[in-house]
Structure 1
């Protein structure tokens, strides 16, 4: 048993000590005084304190059991969390202690009728982070359950659509889906290699006008890859549950941008008249569209979880990247201005203006040093030495936080995936039936999964 210290004075006079209650929280007996509890009159303990002795229905609604003779009330709650709850009566704020699930602690606060506004700011941010993790786990669990769901579609077209969607979007769902993903991945690599090899002059052939063009064999391989990409994109679009969301997705926009130039060039080359193709602007447009084929390399991100993790980690490191650009920008401006000023005394100076000196400052601070622009005076050389030293420092400072963000995010994704799989196993054990029968209406599913996650989240923190 432990007793909360009683205030010695209240309103300048000694407390009489008559208003006190004893509560038993999960086997831990605690003595509480009314002077303290009445500071939050709307809390459960204050309501329990102010209940009349004969109001058994009111008392029963506030606690699990009670002993009228000893004036002791029993609660089947977490005693560790209750020790944190008590702090609000003395310090007007609550800190979540380490080892306590923040989601479960919020449930405890709701039970004791304590508003969340009393949480300290550090705990609010911690809670927000855990809620995001809970939502991620819930999303991963939903994907796993949907992958195991029995076909419940009414019409044959709906069944075909769902089958086609899993075939094109869920490589882990079946062997054919895995084969399609591998073929798509290899097609991207082959297309990228063909695009690079096609620019080698020795492998090019001359057309009727004597201009070097890609070898017909390479063009045939390129056409086959583009036909595969087109068929894949159209099948995914046709089977998508939400076609508007599919079309506006970043990765699908990249897929479309990788396919579109091929057909535009094909139309301008074979369907346009010779007079149109002779226009310089049209030829430049064709060359620009051919260069846009490099966008297909970004299609690899759809098949690589590592590239996706890198993208997400960079998004979380925007602040550090912004600091890096700011450091470099300030350094480039300062050292280019100093170099221009110091080199003006030399008759053969290469620094004609400050904007022209920006290029020298960039390649110097990044330690590239092409040598096309270099200082010739002693002061200019000292400025150059100082600029690349500052450049190394400016680049090195934000690198560690960026790498740390990547490692933390990567490890977190692995933990969340494991947690999601473990949660599905727990749901199967608890339900006593196959997971396919667990999926119900969307709103009911959301409530059920969050209930399960709340009860088992301590495993993952």
Structure 2
């Protein structure tokens, strides 16, 4: 069986056809025939160059000992242990504890193509690159909040100030007060919508129909005026108005505001004959129900709700499996229940589609009791169905919770890293300014 010779970690001079390199104090002797497998790499170039050509050698390494024929590199020895694997095994694995971004720089220094990275390391690297991109974006947002550009016009300065005031609660105390006011406005509006449906708190209109109390209507109008002004100010100050209008949360805000004005126009500006039409009245009721969309505005002010939303997005595969398991179980157990119960004289299972409802409430362990089996086989089928339902629901819960925890911790780490990056940039800029002032004083 043919074995590949390993690199030698030893002292002393190297033999003919070998090359000795010192990586951060770790001396390694490499075989020349192995290095020639990647002739364009830095080590292969050192092997082929003449030891008398000091200019070429100095461009390839940090130092050279002609007596021992040893090349010195001020690089990370742990990363180099991964680098030399490509010469012996044809692929590279990034060892735990090594920063993948720094390792890529090491590969570029040693002139090794990234294509030799193993697939698992490529996915790990792409994940880290995405994290760095997110950190860069967060740093960019923080710097935009901190910078004061003196070259912009007064209109642009006012637009930027209004954007920070409405969209950046952490930028100032006024912005934080506006965010809190918007949060409580959403809560008050939701409470008013619920309380307004209580019959004891409703009043009769001239036609004798029960409508919302005038005080609740006034509070609702005040909240909607606040939502409208907030949306218009944010739209007017948005840097990219098209992107702002098509954003999901802004679409929710728009859908929560529009029904109020549509109902208002139909109620006060429509003709009496138009309002008597049943389809118009149904449309008004449907638009009133759309007011529940404003509760989703809470997600704008809650990082926990946003994290939950992103965690659910990343768990679509698990949720799809859950729906698939439940769908198969509903179909199987409803068909079995119908078959087992159809010969009973007082059966409640009239058809398989009608049995779907029984299967749903049984597998989810709700059990309203409006439909239930009366035969022994039917009861056994029901017992198996809710046991399978419990198992099917419990299976994807752990991955979903794990995705939530991972995403939440990741966001906290990224925010902390972005703040540290900004602090480091401020320190560097402060040192640079002091250095320039010192040089100017010296001159």
* TM-score range relative to shorter protein: over 0.9
Equivalent residue in structure 2 for 1:140, among 134, 138, 141: 138
Distance 1:295 1:158 in 2: 33
| Structure 1 pair 192–153 and aligned structure 2 pair: CA distance change class (3 A) | farther
2:103 is paired with a residue whose SS is helix
Cα shift at 1:133? 1.2
Contact kept, 8 Å, 1:153 with 1:159, in 2: the verdict is no
Cα shift at 1:275? 0.9
Distance 1:353 1:114 in 2: 68
Alignment of 1:32-431 (within 5 A): 32-431=30-429
TM-score (norm 1): 0.89
Q: Deviation digits for residues 153-190 of structure 1, max 9, x if unmatched?
A: 42110110011111111111111111111110000000
TM-score (norm 2): 0.93
Cα shift at 1:415? 1.4
Distance 2:41 2:358 in 1: 68
2:166 is paired with a residue whose SS is helix
Question: Gaps spanning 5+ residues in structure 2: where?
Answer: 9-13, 434-443
1:24 is paired with a residue whose SS is strand
Cα shift at 1:424? 1.7
Equivalent residue in structure 2 for 1:24, among 7, 17, 22: 22
Distance 1:245 1:431 in 2: 33
Q: Could you list the runs of 4 or more consecutive aligned residues of structure 1 that deviate by over 6 angstroms after TM superposition?
A: none
Q: Which moved more, 1:248-257 or 1:128-137?
A: 128-137
* Structure 2 counterpart of 1:5: 6
* Structure 2 counterpart of 1:12: none
Distance 1:375 1:410 in 2: 45
2:40 is paired with a residue whose SS is coil
Distance 2:369 2:153 in 1: 70
Distance 1:89 1:103 in 2: 21
Cα shift at 1:58? 2.5
Question: Gaps spanning 5+ residues in structure 1: where?
Answer: 8-15, 436-461
Contact kept, 8 Å, 1:428 with 1:434, in 2: the verdict is no
Distance 2:23 2:71 in 1: 9
Cα shift at 1:6? 6.3
Cα shift at 1:27? 1.8
Bigger relative contact order, structure 1 or 2 (CA pairs below 8 A, ≥6 apart): 1
* Structure 2 counterpart of 1:11: none
User: Root-mean-square deviation (CA), in Å?
Assistant: 1.6
Distance 2:255 2:297 in 1: 10
